[in-house]
Amino acid sequence: MTSIAAGAKRPVVAALYREALPPRLAEIEKLADVRLTKADGLAEAMDGADVLYQWHSFSPALRENWSAASTLKWVHVSAAGVSQLLFDELIGSNVVYTNSRGVLSRAIAEFALGFVLDMAKDAQGSFRLQQQQRWQHRVTRKIQGQRALVVGTGSIGREIARLFRAVGMEVDGAGRTSRPVDADFGQIHSSGDLAGTVRNYDYLVLAAPLTTDTTGLVGAEVLAAMKPSARLINVGRGELVDTLALTGALASGSIAGAALDVAHPEPLPEGHPLWRMDNVIITPHMSGDTEDYLDDLGKLFVDNLKRYCNGELLENIVDKALGFVPTPEPSPT
């Protein structure tokens, strides 16, 4: 990859932000000359810059000012999902593109496990009864021995698998290619055959990146193939699911429930039928956002900037053609 060698001139970093400044700014300034900018000043800030630190994660400003990015060697974005940020000129360039993969994986996995526990133990039903001041005994479901299929076998999917297995669940994965044996999953199925696979699972958990191949991955055919007692969890991207088909499946009882941290469209419009369904849990795209997550994102960039200054290989290099960081397959155990 292109980087400056140790001892060469200090890199110039254009840091794009919206409101709050990036964390660990003092550490960044020890390593580089920093130009702080909002979107309307990005073209000027990128003039002669080596690095773009896109702290304003989902800003389209780079695409809009690409003609001013002639000296850029590296772009880092403080998000894991980058499909909506890539564009033809960037993909075809020699600019190295890194993301924040892995920083939020454990938090998202904890959120997914929380969804499983919430649905299995009917926490929502208990809350509704509490609001009515009703003492109504019920029975709930064990999660030990329940089977989950996690779509997405990258860092988030693997953290989910480890946590689910730790509480006694059986976990398989679904990814671009199938594998009969895997260190974190019992086996990995091809995500291209979800309809033929999902009938064997109690939970279908979506943690895949959004690409042309995964957009609309869970549609009417997949939902119809799920067990009537099965539940869908989405901590990936809203566009992975056909929202109209999901709404119909939940209303008809074709599947038992859903827990959605993401939606399509997002935010979910006021008055949408999903809001009113007792078998649906909706949270506002917050599964990775713990109290210290912003500092964790900042630390990743500082660590990568140190590698850049030392001429070392960067972490989290995105395959721009694929739209995500390829995950080396771990050796079976």
Structure tokens at 328: 């080396």
Q: Are residues 121 and 270 in the same domain?
A: yes
pLDDT of 328 over the 70 cut: no
Q: Are residues 55 and 187 in the same domain?
A: no
Per residue in 78-128, pLDDT tens? 998 888 899 999 999 999 999 999 999 999 999 999 999 999 999 999 999
pLDDT at residue 313, as a whole number: 96
Q: Does the bond joining 265 to the residue before it have cis omega, within 30 degrees of 0?
A: yes
Which carries the bigger pLDDT value, residue 1 or residue 236? 236
Both 86 and 138 in one domain: the answer is no
Asked about 165 being catalytic, the answer comes back as: no
Instruction: Check residue 330 and give its pLDDT.
Output: 52
- Asked if residue 322 belongs to a domain, the reply is no
Cα–Cα distance, 324 to 38 (Å, whole number): 26
pLDDT band at 3 (very low <50, low <70, confident <90, very high): very low
Q: Is residue 179 part of a domain?
A: yes
227-276 residue pLDDT tens: 999 999 999 999 999 999 999 999 999 999 999 999 999 999 999 999 99
Q: What distance in Å separates the CA atoms of residue 300 and residue 305, rounded to the nearest whole number?
A: 9
pLDDT at residue number 174: 97
Query: Does residue 330 fall inside a structural domain?
Result: no
Separation of alpha carbons 318 and 80, rounded Å: 10
Catalytic one among 63, 285, 307, 315? 285
Alpha-carbon distance of 28 to 55, in angstroms, equals 13
Task: Clarify whether residues 79 and 143 are in a common domain.
Answer: no
> Average of pLDDT values for 60-88?
94
**Bigger pLDDT: 329 vs 156:** 156
Same domain, 98 and 136: no
pLDDT at 2: 43
- Do both 59 and 145 map to the same domain? no
Task: Look at residue 323 and tell me if it is in a domain.
Answer: no
- What integer pLDDT is reported at residue 8 of this predicted model? 60
Q: How confident is the model at residue 130 (pLDDT cuts 50, 70, 90)?
A: very high
Answer yes or no: 158 catalytic.
no
The dihedral through the CA atoms of 73, 77, 80, 86 has a sign that is: negative
Please state, in angstroms and rounded to a whole number, the distance separating the CA atoms of residues 230 and 255. 6
128 and 237 inside one domain: yes
Q: Which of 76, 237, 239, 264 is catalytic?
A: 237
56, HSE (Cβ side, Cα atoms, 13 Å)? 18
Say yes or no: 93 and 111 in one domain. Answer: no
Is the domain of 187 the same as that of 227? yes
Mean pLDDT, to the nearest integer, of 288-299?
Answer: 96
Q: Sheet containing 74-77: give its strands across.
A: 33-37, 12-16, 51-54, 74-77, 96-98
Query: Which one from 147, 266, 272, 315 is the annotated catalytic residue?
Result: 266
In this predicted structure, the answer to whether residue 329 has a pLDDT above a threshold of 70 is: no
More confident: 219 or 58: 219
Dist. CA 225–CA 104, nearest whole Å: 31
- Return the number of other C-beta atoms located less than 10 Å from residue 142's C-beta: 11
Instruction: Determine the structural domain holding residue 89 and report its residue range.
Output: 12-103+291-309
Q: Per the domain annotation, does 23 fall within a domain?
A: yes
Query: What value does the mean pLDDT take over residues 55-62?
Result: 94
Note whether 182 and 48 are same-domain residues.
Answer: no
In the predicted model, what is the mean pLDDT of the chain? Answer: 94
CA distances from 113 to 14, 71, 205, 243 (A): 38, 44, 10, 22
Residue 42 falls within a domain, yes or no? yes
List all residues 6 or more positions away from 17 whose beta carbon is below 8 Å from its beta carbon: 36, 37, 38, 55, 56
Average pLDDT score over residue span 34-57: 97
Q: Does the residue 3 lie in any domain?
A: no
CA dihedral for 143, 147, 152, 155, sign (positive or negative): positive
237 assigned to active site: yes
Residue 331 domain-assigned (yes or no): no
Q: What is the CATH number of the domain that holds 73?
A: 3.40.50.720
Question: What's the whole-model pTM score?
Answer: 0.90
The per-residue pLDDT for 327 is: 74
Q: How many domains does the chain have?
A: 2
- Please tell me whether residues 58 and 70 are part of one structural domain: yes
Residue 6 has pLDDT above 70, yes or no: no
Q: Residues 245, 304: one domain? A: no
